[in-house]
Amino acid sequence: MITQISCGEGEQKPALLSDSKAPFGAPEFHLYNIGDYLDAFKTAIEEKRADVKNIINNSDAPTFANTIDALELSGKNLDKVSSIFFNLNESDNTPQMTEIENAVTPMLTELNGYIYMNDTLFGRIRTLYEKRESLHLDEEQNIVLEEYYKQFVRGGALLNTEDKAKLLELNTQLSLASIEYGNNLLNDSKLFKLIITNEEELSGLPQSIRDAAAEAAKADGSEGWLFTLDKPSCIPFLQYADNRSLREKVYKAYYGRGNNDNENNNKDVIRRILQLRQQKAQLLGFENYAAFALDEKMAKTADAANKLLMSIWKPAVERAKEEAEALQNMINAEGGKFKLEGWDWFYYTEKLRKSKYALNDADIKPYFRLENVLAGAFDCAHRLYGIKFIERTDIPVYYEGVKTYEVLDSKGEHLALFYTDFFPRPTKRQGAWMTNFVNQKNLGGENIRPMVVNVCNFTAPTGNTPALLNIDETRTLFHEFGHALHGMLTQTHYPMVSGTNVKHDFVELFSQINEKWAIAPEVMRTYAKHYQTGETIPDSLIEKMQRSSHFNLGFETSELVAAALLDLRMHTIEDYTDFDCNKFENEVRAELGFIPEIEYRYRSTNFAHVFSGGYAVGYYAYLWAEVLDCDAFELFEERGLFDNATAMSFKVLLEMGGSKDPMREYCRFRGAEPNPDALLRARGLID
């Protein structure tokens, strides 16, 4: 049972709604009972409604303080319960959590309707918005006011009563369909198990991969070796397994998640989501959902996003064709009597890498122990921004193996808490992400510092072998840590614009640029130490990695751009009555000239970013932001990777959250408009 805390008059309330006694007010996960979430949500929703009602019923003329400040300060307990529940639901998604999510989602949708469709409340905001130039607001306040006005308009404030009811119903259905999509994907992924009992079928697999598969089988109660669709399991299998038929089985299972005509089929869910999104967009006055979504992003229009993507696509697909030819030549040279297929690409790419550069993951991974890579990320943050990380064992965590760090600023003062959750488990969704347990704000006499978490799915330790990362996992750690830095360094007043609450196609700048320090030779020498000998990674290996840095980038770029184009074009359709996602994928593939040996990075039925992760018409943002991060990093390369003046100037971008105009501030940092060729140079697609 959850610990109950007395609150007077014989009443008791769960720890979820009580002030934390943990250091810094950190969530007391050990006190939270799953059975209390629903009641906690109900109470917190009513509290939020009461707070908003007080604003609505305020007879005083609207001011920024009694309307906008009051909205930003409302619903404290709902912020707390929501951040805890939805974060844990992603990292430990049990049937009970799904049941609660399905029950809570309509309540939250209804609450949003009550807020954003209230004529009186919108009237107060519109009054402020229309006279904003005379209110003497600072830039952050102006942006917050404009964001509230746009949120209300996009939330249906200008609709008539009948259309408001329609929008509320559409939002409810969309939320539930998104949950269904995500659960289908997770459940379908868990269904696949490749159990090998004949050791000969492990031919080609490194011992570390075999050991991990043996431990996975043991944990599953199976004999032999178990391979799943978790990336640390399936990608190495595709890279190294000599058995072509088993590679085909794993490949098709991975890219076919949610597309198996079983109880986890996502095809019908996709059609339903797209139909609902289109109805919502048209109800709000937009031609299609792409126009609705992009209106809030830096790109603004589908044409602008498409123009960027196609400028990258053309050189990328040409490079991919050259790579495919090289792999086919290797197959032919070995006497293979078959045409290159998708399940051969990873395998022969690894062989070609070894042949061409005398390099493979087995050479690299011993130098990239997880703890050392994380220490390297911490050290970079210290050298760039002056912050320090101190592990704390007195902060409650939500799962065994999660670690917590106190973050101190350059003056030694408390800046944030940082949680890490690095290893797969059956109830954790795939991928890697950063979120907040507590958002930063400095409002109403309280300066609340953030509590940030990085969640990943890295190869776990096996036996006496620690967790060793390949170079992609190393970059992923630095990537998510870049998001974490954005969340931890933020120095705004309003939670609406704090941390990563920025335009969608700006947010990836901070994660992607941070990856570049991970693979910089002078940085690798500081943290890449052999896990057995302590030897620093040799220059000869770094040189091989540098020479191979553009290897296979035709594949990597084309699979990414193709997925972004699929997302964009899927949302410019206006009639989804007969929409078939598989047929549509093939049509886009044919139009683009996308070679059949490469699959979309995500197919529609497993494109969680778009259908359950908030990236609808936003997957292009990785490439939009990559123009910025490549352009920005060239400045660091010119002046020095840890040049203090450059780092402090970039830190302003990290600290400002969404409180300033992003492109203006980027140009201030860079001294010029971003150069799109920087991306093509970084990917080796132009000289």
Superfamily assignment of 267-359+554-611 in CATH? Neurolysin, domain 3 (1.10.1370.10)
Q: Reduce the DSSP state of residue 416 to 3 states and report it.
A: strand
Directed axis angle between helix 553-570 and helix 621-639, to 10°? 140
Question: Residue 61: how many CA atoms within 13 Å on its side-chain side?
Answer: 3
Residue 2 has pLDDT above 70, yes or no: no
**CB–CB of 510/483 below 8 Å?**
yes
Task: Give the span between the Cα atoms of 511 and 68, in whole angstroms.
Answer: 30
Write down the pLDDT at residue 362: 86
- Centroid of chain to Cα 437: 15
Residue 491 has pLDDT above 90, yes or no: yes
Q: Reduce the DSSP state of residue 527 to 3 states and report it.
A: helix
Q: Which residue has the tokens 């844990």?
A: 88
CB count in 10 Å sphere of residue 160: 9
Q: Where are the beta strands (DSSP E) in 248-379?
A: none
Q: Residue 208: name the closest of 236, 242, 250 by CA.
A: 236
**CB–CB of 4/12 below 8 Å?**
yes
Q: Where in the chain is the domain with CATH 1.20.1050.40?
A: 31-158
Q: Which residue has the tokens 């696949």?
A: 192
Q: What are phi and psi of 452, to 5 degrees?
A: -115, 145
CB count in 10 Å sphere of residue 36: 19
**Residues 68-89 pLDDT 10s:** 999 999 999 999 999 999 999 9
**CB–CB of 232/361 below 8 Å?**
no
Q: Which residue has the tokens 């078939």?
A: 580
**Residues 337-351 pLDDT 10s:** 999 999 999 999 999
Domain 31-158 sits in CATH at: 1.20.1050.40
Q: Where in the chain is the domain with CATH 1.10.1370.10?
A: 267-359+554-611
**Residues 278-327 pLDDT 10s:** 999 999 999 999 999 999 999 999 999 999 999 999 999 999 999 999 99
Task: Give the span between the Cα atoms of 197 and 199, in whole angstroms.
Answer: 6
Q: What angle do CA 288, 293, 297 make, to 5 degrees?
A: 140
Beta bridge partners of 6: 12
Write down the pLDDT at residue 14: 77
What 8-state DSSP symbol labels residue 390? E
Residue 195 one-letter amino acid: I
Residue 316 class from Cβ within 10 Å (0-12 exposed, 13-18 middle, 19+ buried)?
A: buried
Write down the pLDDT at residue 10: 43
Q: Where in the chain is the domain with CATH 1.10.1370.40?
A: 366-547+621-682
Residues comprising the chain, all counted:
687
Residue 7 has pLDDT above 60, yes or no: no
Write down the pLDDT at residue 13: 72
**9 pLDDT band (50/70/90 cuts)?**
very low
| Radius of gyration in angstroms for the set of CA atoms belonging to the chain, rounded to a whole number | 25
The helix (H) or strand (E) run that includes residue 225 is strand 225-227
Question: Residue 322: left if φ>0, alpha if ψ -120 to 50, beta else—which one?
Answer: alpha
Active-site residue (options: 72, 480, 559, 626): 480
Q: Global pTM? A: 0.93
Q: What's the mean per-residue pLDDT of the chain?
A: 95
Looking at the domain covering 366-547+621-682, what would its CATH class be?
mainly alpha
**CB–CB of 371/466 below 8 Å?**
yes
Residue 381 has pLDDT above 60, yes or no: yes
Write down the pLDDT at residue 687: 77
334 is known as an active-site residue: no
Pairing of strands 451-455, 414-421: parallel
**CB–CB of 380/517 below 8 Å?**
yes
